[in-house]
Amino acid sequence: MLKANVYVTLKPGVLDPQGEAVQKSLHVLGYEAVEEVRIGKFIEVWMQDTDQETATAQLREMSDKLLANPVIEDFRVELAGAERP
C-alpha cells in the first residue's frame, strides 16, 4: 500500500470564519501572541502500490476534481510509502 497525505488549505485572502473564531478563543486562553489561525483539511489516502510519478499525478487529479475546490482552496500532496496499520 501507498499512503499519501493531502493538505487542503484556504487560499490567501479567502475569509476563514472558523479560523477567526479559534484565534479569538486562543486569545481568551491567554495566547496573545497568536496573530492568525487558518483552518484546513488533512486527508489520508491509501492506494494500491504504483510508481511515485503515477500516484502523484493521480492524487493531484483527485485533489483538483474533488478533494479541494480550486476556487477557494490550495492543496499539497505528500507521498509516504507505508504499510496499512
Residues in binding contact with another protein, number by CB under 8 A? 11
31 grid coordinates: 495566547
Minimum CB–partner distance for residue 80 and another protein (Å)? 22
Of 21, 44, 50, 82, the one binding another protein (CB under 8 A) is 21
Beta-bridge partner residues of 45: 4
What CA–CA distances, in Å, run from 41 to 5, 37, 63, 65, 77? 10, 13, 12, 16, 12
Distance CA 27, CA 6 (A): 29
Minimum CB–partner distance for residue 49 and another protein (Å)? 26
Q: Is 25 in the site for another protein (CB under 8 A)?
A: no
Minimum CB–partner distance for residue 41 and another protein (Å)? 8
Residues that bind another protein (CB under 8 A): 14-18, 21, 66-67, 69, 71-72
